[in-house]
């Protein structure tokens, strides 16, 4: 690793494999298909491993859907809050399913999707007005939400146009009891609709690959739901696929003091892990709770609040020391940006056999070509 210049994202395939085996367990014991949510993780150099344990990809845009088709294969589920006609014309040629966010879009584009065989199946997103989310920003059932259809009567009228429904109503839900209760609510509320369809997607945001999550009970719940309504169940894990599998590796450039010690690293929260700022969370800093030497770990951008968080080490930090930010896979590489022109982290993979491979390096020309 000494030959790789910091900063870089380091993904460990063996850690990734631990999550993938749990996903495969659910596929086998619950007969629930799993699709990688590309909005969370799109590092396609890892797809040769991931595709062995999953059934395809799910997307939120034309480009994501095309990436899934070209680099992952298997099923391609295409969803967007809103499509335009040119996107539908392209999506219908390679998508397995196209899922609309509204009845107006469903009615507008249904004939275009279905006019040429072979053609994708068609689905509709429903807003069940119940959810699990710690953040209002990410709550799909928040007041005045534009995400999915609420009116059941309207859905009944368009049933002949669709073969399935999507419910995406969880965000970072690691509570099986909550998941179980919400699933029961879906069955009670939408059972009459579900019995007339072929499949249902329960979306993502379910942390079922976490350690000690009750996988057996989870499988039993999903299988019972599937059999009760005669449906193929889909899950759309993103974070659950990659949680715990990656680090953002940085180097200390300077140590300054202002009412405490501040270590400035060669990375940026704003540019390389913006979700921490968006949701006002502190980074998980490896080895940062082991000692009495306390530091604020700060990014190098000009943003005053570009702070990874506070960590306590067992010895003083020096310029050149390595700082590793844990759990840096989901919603990191897909959101990285060129703010301040800070050097973009390379993408490095530690393969199953221990080989370390730098699969992507960014330089000035990448920065320049991202602008005009």
Quick: pLDDT tens for 35-94. Answer: 999 999 999 999 999 999 999 999 999 999 999 999 999 999 999 999 999 999 999 999
Contacts 24+ apart (CB under 8 A), 44-48: 44/71, 44/72, 45/347, 45/349, 45/359, 45/360, 46/11, 46/13, 46/16, 46/349, 47/71, 47/72
The sign of the CA dihedral 337, 338, 340, 344 is positive
CATH, domain range 246-328+336-369: 2.40.37.10
pLDDT(183) > 70 = yes
- State residue 2's pLDDT score: 72
Q: Is the pLDDT of residue 117 over 80?
A: no
* Average pLDDT for the chain: 96
CATH class of 13-242: alpha beta
pLDDT tens digit string along 129-160? 999 999 999 999 999 999 999 999 999 999 99
pLDDT for 46 equals 98
Q: What is the reported pLDDT for 1?
A: 67
pLDDT in tens, 40-57: 999 999 999 999 999 999
pLDDT attached to residue 290: 80
Is residue 257 pLDDT above 90, yes or no? Answer: yes
**pTM score, whole prediction:** 0.95
Q: Is the pLDDT of residue 101 over 90?
A: yes
Query: Model confidence at 116, in pLDDT bands (50, 70, 90)?
Result: confident
Query: What residue spans define the domains of the chain?
Result: 13-242, 246-328+336-369
pLDDT band at 3; cut points 50, 70, 90: confident
* pLDDT, tens digit, 9 for 90 and up, residues 284-343: 999 988 889 999 999 999 999 999 999 999 999 999 999 999 999 999 999 999 999 999
Instruction: Enumerate residues 6+ apart whose C-beta is below 8 A from 338.
Output: 271, 344, 367, 370, 371
Q: Quick one: pLDDT at residue 144?
A: 94
Supply the pLDDT for residue 224.
98
- Residue 150: which of 171, 167, 173, 170 has the closest Cα? 167
In the chain, what's the furthest Cα-to-Cα distance? 68
- d(CA 164, CA 194) in angstroms, rounded, equals 8
Cβ atoms of 62 and 91 closer than 8 Å: yes
Per-residue pLDDT averaged across 102-109, rounded? 98
- Of the pLDDT bands very low, low, confident and very high (cuts 50, 70, 90), residue 26 is very high
User: How sure is the predictor about 23, in pLDDT bands with cuts at 50, 70 and 90?
Assistant: very high
């Amino acid at each position: 690793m000494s030959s790789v210049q910091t900063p870089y994202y380091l993904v460990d395939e063996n850690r990734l494999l631990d999550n993938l085996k749990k996903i495969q367990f659910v596929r086998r014991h619950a007969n629930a298909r799993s699709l990688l949510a590309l909005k969370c993780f799109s590092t396609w150099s890892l797809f040769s491993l991931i595709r062995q344990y999953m059934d395809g990809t799910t997307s939120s845009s034309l480009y994501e859907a095309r990436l899934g088709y070209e680099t992952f294969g298997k099923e391609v589920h295409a969803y967007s809050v809103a499509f335009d006609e040119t996107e539908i014309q392209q999506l219908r040629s390679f998508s397995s399913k196209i899922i609309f966010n509204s009845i107006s879009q469903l009615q507008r584009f249904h004939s275009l999707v279905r006019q040429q065989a072979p053609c994708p199946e068609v689905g509709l997103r429903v807003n069940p007005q119940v959810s699990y989310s710690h953040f209002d920003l990410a709550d799909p059932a928040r007041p005045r939400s534009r995400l999915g259809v609420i009116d059941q009567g309207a859905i009944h009228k368009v049933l002949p146009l669709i073969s399935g429904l999507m419910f995406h109503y969880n965000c970072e839900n690691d509570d099986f009891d909550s998941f179980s209760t919400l699933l029961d609510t879906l069955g009670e509320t939408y059972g009459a609709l579900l019995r007339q369809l072929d499949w249902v997607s329960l979306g993502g945001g379910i942390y079922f690959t976490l350690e000690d999550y009750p996988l057996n009970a989870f499988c039993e719940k999903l299988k019972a739901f599937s059999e009760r309504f005669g449906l193929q169940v889909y899950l759309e894990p993103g974070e659950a696929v990659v949680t715990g599998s990656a680090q953002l590796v940085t180097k200390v450039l300077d140590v300054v003091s202002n009412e405490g010690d501040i270590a400035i690293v060669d990375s940026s929260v704003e540019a390389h892990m913006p979700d921490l700022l968006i949701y006002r969370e502190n980074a998980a800093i490896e080895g940062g709770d082991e000692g009495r030497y306390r530091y604020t770990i700060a990014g190098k951008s000009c943003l005053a609040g570009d702070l990874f968080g506070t960590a306590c080490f067992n010895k003083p930090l020096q310029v050149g020391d390595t700082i590793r930010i844990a759990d840096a896979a989901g919603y990191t590489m897909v959101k990285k940006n060129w703010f301040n022109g800070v050097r973009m982290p390379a993408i490095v993979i530690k393969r199953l056999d221990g080989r370390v491979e730098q699969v992507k390096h960014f330089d000035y020309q990448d920065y320049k070509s991202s602008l005009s």
